[in-house]
Structure 1
């Protein structure tokens, strides 16, 4: 289905603002539209006073001024519309500012490879270090970023991301939630309440999502008390590759087919929507089906407050900032820090 022009222009503007400038040909390739279409969109955005046109190049009117080394600045790069990382950013900022550093936030638009030009530009402008959480929707996206990240001329710390062991980024500092342990707590809580048939409805478009899915399989296979378990997508847009036909059954349908008495949902919003769908299908939460959310951003706000795994978002941000400060001071070897999440037990889980 063709993307609406308004949404396409919004993405163009986000990409240009994030990078400072972009070539029309590059934008056309990223958006998978013709150069003529991008030129028309750029012309409209220029008429609206939102960007500046050049010969084959589009420039932002809102790009931050170049950084100077004396600014003592550290850059943070996170994906667009990623509320989960907001608390991590605040944790990192507090730690950096306490150390006398200036924290500068850059938002990577939702186009493939958006982080690289942003990172390379701000490094060239004089930033002293980089905290980054690449979107990495697929494993291929992740692998494609390893070499250029390793080649940056400033200290880099991955925030809420851990590279593949043995990769060129293996010795890069990183701070991340221990998501395996988060899934362990969710499953252990449900098993302790007597649940023996479980469903995981998870996303499949981020490193966190992939970790949760593999952890669920490993943990359930190792628990002899669990009689049956299954995995499906938590939402229609949860798959990393929209060109792959969705053959995953809807969550409610899977719960019925497995005769599951409990479901774990990634993320909170999808968990809240599942509760509505279950109620509409005559399956009461938690009387007929207990629900555990993963994220704990809005989990307490449901009509039935959701039990949730709460990643230590601010702590991860602080840990990432401390790793970067240590690297700038040339202290010690690179480290991987895994911070344990906690389980917030609320009204959506009961014994069976």
Structure 2
């Protein structure tokens, strides 16, 4: 049976008056209520003058002591009021939604957030992390840009020596690397591509193409997954992977990749089903196809990958939607879990994957046979 609000608030007041000063996180655990519920109760009790609240702590009204709890040290857990650094690349709308999910979870837990934006250049994350550490953060949430596999490998060494609990968002370091034992929370992009390919096959499409970026770990995962899945499906007669636009590659020495004319590519190979990554490139490619007489979905069904703005196209694009905000929230909750445990009791490393979903819209339909 659900506990009445008045009874729960009476219990809160009893604990606070008995202890003098109580951390909000400890109070929620002791009373077995969620942080969201407890914060709502505490705010109402403070508004009506029944207790005092500060940053991460509540006190009786007659207690004039400091309104913050000293930072944990030694083997004490750090959680409520902890400083957390968020490091993300600039101009990255996909990861900004992930950032929003992380921020929401951290704010609900009373953590203090410092945001650091890494410029679009190789190695830009390291100075931002060093600034965050110098400012005294207790833990890090990070999503390096990693435009190329070589750039990714170059960051492994120093990231392994950060020295504070760290969780990577939407990044999965190479198996067996020094970062294999770092907590990560990612979308399962293999499953996302499986959803896209399976959807096109179910509609009768047998000649497929992936037009994708190649300048991020997500893009590289999508490309590898498409090649594996398309090659393994006996229904697929022909498949190919091409660059989605001339500026969608890493742009580093030795990484040059030609971006073909997608209209000509589709016509030459008889492609009727396409997966396009990411959303902005997908919108531009669909416009180009339409301008060149290839109708979507009349002549070619299209599935976008990202679903940030896919629904805004003149023909709303069917899209794979990774759980961006949920990735950020899960990463933040994992970091808070680490920060809330005494030193030396962190437990096993976690490599968490969340499944994307497929949003079916107007850009895909069953393949029309000549008799149709």
Interval of TM-score (by shorter of Structure 1 and Structure 2):
0.7 to 0.9
Aligned counterpart, 1:228:
238
Larger C-alpha radius of gyration, 1 or 2?
2
Higher mean C-alpha deviation, range 325-334 or range 271-280 = 325-334
Establish whether residue 345 from structure 1 lines up as the match of residue 355 from structure 2.
no
Establish whether residue 305 from structure 1 lines up as the match of residue 316 from structure 2.
yes
Mind listing any 5+ residue stretches in structure 2 that lack a counterpart?
1-69, 73-80, 368-372
Aligned counterpart, 2:61:
none
Instruction: Determine which of 78, 98, 121 is the counterpart of 1:111.
Output: 121
CA separation of 1:198 and 1:322: change in aligned 2, threshold 3 A = same
Aligned counterpart, 1:10:
none
| Distance (Å, rounded) in 2 between the aligned partners of 1:335 and 1:245 | 35
Establish whether residue 274 from structure 1 lines up as the match of residue 289 from structure 2.
no
| Distance (Å, rounded) in 2 between the aligned partners of 1:326 and 1:297 | 29
Conserved in 2, the CA contact under 8 Å of 1:69 and 1:126? no
Aligned counterpart, 2:214:
204
Conserved in 2, the CA contact under 8 Å of 1:69 and 1:127? no
Aligned counterpart, 1:294:
305
Cα shift at 1:245: 4.5
Cα shift at 1:96: 1.0
SS in 2 for 1:264: strand
Cα shift at 1:346: 0.1
Residue by residue, what CA displacement relative to the aligned partner does 1:42-93 show, whole Å, maximum 9, x if unpaired? xxxxxxxxxxxxxxxxxxxxxxxxxx96862101000010010111111111
Conserved in 2, the CA contact under 8 Å of 1:230 and 1:258? no
| Distance (Å, rounded) in 2 between the aligned partners of 1:141 and 1:242 | 9
Q: For 1:103-252, what aligned pairs fall within 5 Å after superposition?
A: 103-241=113-251, 243=253, 244-252=255-263
SS in 2 for 1:297: coil
Instruction: Determine which of 350, 353, 366 is the counterpart of 1:335.
Output: 350
Q: TM-score, normalised by structure 1?
A: 0.79
Conserved in 2, the CA contact under 8 Å of 1:76 and 1:103? yes
Conserved in 1, the CA contact under 8 Å of 2:320 and 2:358? yes
| Distance (Å, rounded) in 1 between the aligned partners of 2:286 and 2:204 | 20
Establish whether residue 97 from structure 1 lines up as the match of residue 104 from structure 2.
no
Conserved in 1, the CA contact under 8 Å of 2:318 and 2:358? yes
How many residue pairs end up in the alignment?
285
Conserved in 2, the CA contact under 8 Å of 1:88 and 1:317? yes
Aligned counterpart, 1:85:
95
Cα shift at 1:332: 2.5
SS in 2 for 1:224: coil
Aligned counterpart, 1:72:
82
| Distance (Å, rounded) in 2 between the aligned partners of 1:245 and 1:313 | 29
SS in 1 for 2:113: strand
SS in 1 for 2:332: helix
Conserved in 1, the CA contact under 8 Å of 2:249 and 2:256? no
Aligned counterpart, 1:315:
326
SS in 1 for 2:353: strand
